[in-house]
Structure 1
């Protein structure tokens, strides 16, 4: 009974001592034939965390399917294993190779398998890497570049190939092509170029042919590129007919003792955003609506947003749009009521395209207007008063003129009197007239020829006195 239970107990203890483990396998390839490729195996627990070093030893068993195969075994109290493999010619040929690693754990009496992993590596005949495009010390990830800034084209080799060339003191020559034109060579892996407006907003292809070797005579006869020479480079005599397919590289004879690499990159030169005019009033009466219109130029499409900051704001250049609006025509109109709470605002126009971003601040000031009485309140009363005074003056003048016009003046037509008759005023004569109207006069006191005498105490007219006719 005890003999039957012993294996079961042993298996239970073994299961508890060996927790679930996974193996992650990675490499820094691919690599050119003759380079050394690094493989890395890392142990993880069942929670996805890296295993740390422990007192329990682990064993890593490496192998590949090459002929002859490479083998490597490493044991220790670590959870990470590294293996370097070199595929040299002519023993190995370019192609795919499979690498396998098995991880084991010591369980007291023997090593128990806790995981394994496989990975495929590609061994090539050409150098491996990519062409990088750099502007303003920044590696650009996409196709778009700014046409008005210098562009650095650089070949970045993968680690196995870069290490191979550096350890062997090789001499590097790189031949550069833009489209179908050859632009010369450099003795490193970089090339500086300025694109022009002729390349604006269209896809152009930059290509590079890398030749590396130990010999000092490591150049290619550039006559082979005669059909590709650009307009700004002196063209040698043509020896090879150009290939009309600008995607491919010219055919050059290869030396088995040298390393070759072909690299290319499509780029689209674009114009950065340039802000033009900003129209609209920036001094507003409190309560007025803000109206601003901004125009800009550059390569479309554009992405923009507008932010409002209270008070004065210093632009950092790190401002971003959470919800940018796309547009093909860079004309941005802003209409907004700012309210009456604050007097100063900063309007931020954040505009970008594929190659640039601009942040343009516009300061806006609101002010309280002093309320003055309306002009009519002052002008109307004064005008009415002046008119009234004028009317009064004209009325008085008219009255005086009318009175003078209709004034009755009584004339004395008694021509029979002596010239030395006593002078009487109009008032006195008027009084005498009223007096004579009620006084009886005797008939013998007058004659047809007029009165016979004149009383010095005041002349009395006869009621029957008549004026003589005027002939």
Structure 2
């Protein structure tokens, strides 16, 4: 007997040395009182995978009338804990689980470990308002260019819990203005002015009061009348600057304020809530719990409420992008474009240069964006590639992103000699040739007319009439000759032999 016990202990030691486990535990807390909380525990081996084998799970909690749960199953187990609203109150509770591994054909259960979790049970429904535009979730900033879709996203346990309620209504408020009710947790609203802050509130009421059956009056000998107690739906009155609730959705109801079921409470003449009536804001003297800083708390065992709120800021999207500049550039010329646009602040931009012709998809992004105080910025760059280039410009702000492009063509001009370098030398050469030709022709034509007489002076001979005379003597002789000379004489003067000229030819 002692030998068998020793063998078992040895096997237990070997198993504990070979396998090393740890536990993962998760619970979908917080949940509303009355809903079912799901707690799941998994056994993980040293390879971060689900362990193999069978395990025993022992669950315990400090909720009243819940007790504990023991089950033998695989490496994962889930305990669905339902809390009775009549026996428990909202608060913080603890759930624990102890896990051991079944070995030796289930005879021995080797301890793996234990784990606990804190459960938060609330009086109100748990969730949040999710705001979306064009299937994009908006956190704080919303665009004024399209409707804002407000959707109440409940915790799965809370949503399953109120799915059994006969009546579930959502009351919607924007800046303490009542806009009506819906039944699908959704409301669409238009904001038209940028750079404003708004406060969206929603009150969900799940009424578990059974709907009374139709009552039939006892038949009489004269007439038979059947009366049904229902609420007649009418149209919801909305202001002119507000998008109406979508009436094409079958699950959505539109009701007039006078016919709207009021949540638990009384009429309050000092309420801050208003509503649109015939295009004018008028007080709506109904007390809504939690709405518009109301300190009233809803207390009704047959109803469960959920209060959700969210602050948003409106902004104008990027629009009116204008790109100016020359998109045909000579090789080596500087690209100089200017981009302008409009939109709300907190803008940034980036520029991408794509070779060739690029088709913009709208999904382009950049690693780094440059902030813009004003949407007016230049684009300057040398494009050294002799081909077409696409300039992709991305501009964004908190509510939009715009992608634009422009194609720039870079061309190269072949160098050519200037016209003056050719014309001027040719012209002067022609003038010189013409001048020479005309000069030669003129000389050949007129050389026969030129006779050159050569004076033949013989200074060795002496003439008597060439004696030296004074000026007075010559003057006197000239006067005498003038009065004594015969005017009819036509003979040529008798020149001395030495005064005659000979021919040049």
| TM-score, structure 2 normalization | 0.70
Q: Distance in 1 between matches of 2:326 and 2:111?
A: 78
Who is 2:390 aligned against? 346
Query: 2:303 aligned with 1:271, yes or no?
Result: no
- Tell me how far 1:451 sits from its aligned partner: 4.7
**Unaligned regions of 5+ residues in structure 2, if any?**
212-230, 232-259, 440-449, 457-462, 464-483, 497-505
Query: 2:151 aligned with 1:157, yes or no?
Result: no
Per-residue deviation, residues 422-444 of structure 1 (Å, max 9, x unmatched): xxxxx9xxx9xx9xxxxx9xxxx
SS of the residue aligned with 2:114?
Answer: strand
Cα RMSD after superposing both structures: 3.8
Per-residue deviation, residues 174-221 of structure 1 (Å, max 9, x unmatched): 221112322222233111000121xx2343210111112144578217
Who is 2:293 aligned against? 248
Q: Is residue 179–residue 246 contact of structure 1 (8 Å, CA) maintained in 2?
A: no
Per-residue deviation, residues 109-150 of structure 1 (Å, max 9, x unmatched): 32121021111111111111111101112333x212212111
Per-residue deviation, residues 70-101 of structure 1 (Å, max 9, x unmatched): 3211112x111011111111111111111111
Aligned length: 404
Q: Is residue 27–residue 38 contact of structure 2 (8 Å, CA) maintained in 1?
A: yes
Q: Given the alignment, which residue of 341, 349, 369 partners 2:413?
A: 369
Who is 1:30 aligned against? 30
Q: Is residue 25–residue 40 contact of structure 1 (8 Å, CA) maintained in 2?
A: yes
Query: 2:131 aligned with 1:133, yes or no?
Result: yes
SS of the residue aligned with 1:292?
Answer: strand
**Unaligned regions of 5+ residues in structure 1, if any?**
397-426, 435-439, 441-446, 465-471
Per-residue deviation, residues 23-64 of structure 1 (Å, max 9, x unmatched): 111122321111111111111112322224x3xx21111110
Query: 2:199 aligned with 1:205, yes or no?
Result: yes
Who is 2:341 aligned against? 296
* Stretch of structure 1 that moved more, 221-230 or 80-89: 221-230
Q: Is residue 59–residue 73 contact of structure 1 (8 Å, CA) maintained in 2?
A: yes
Query: 2:223 aligned with 1:229, yes or no?
Result: no
Q: Given the alignment, which residue of 492, 502, 505 partners 1:460?
A: 492
| TM-score, structure 1 normalization | 0.75
Q: Distance in 2 between matches of 1:308 and 1:8?
A: 78
Query: 2:403 aligned with 1:359, yes or no?
Result: yes
Q: Distance in 2 between matches of 1:266 and 1:384?
A: 88
Q: Distance in 1 between matches of 2:349 and 2:14?
A: 61
SS of the residue aligned with 1:266?
Answer: strand
Who is 1:403 aligned against? none
Distance 1:356 1:15, change over 3 A: farther
SS of the residue aligned with 2:157?
Answer: helix
Distance 1:242 1:22, change over 3 A: closer
Q: Distance in 1 between matches of 2:40 and 2:288?
A: 46
Q: Distance in 1 between matches of 2:375 and 2:9?
A: 74
Q: Distance in 2 between matches of 1:252 and 1:383?
A: 108
Distance 1:129 1:451, change over 3 A: closer
- Tell me how far 1:332 sits from its aligned partner: 2.9
Who is 2:235 aligned against? none
Who is 1:415 aligned against? none
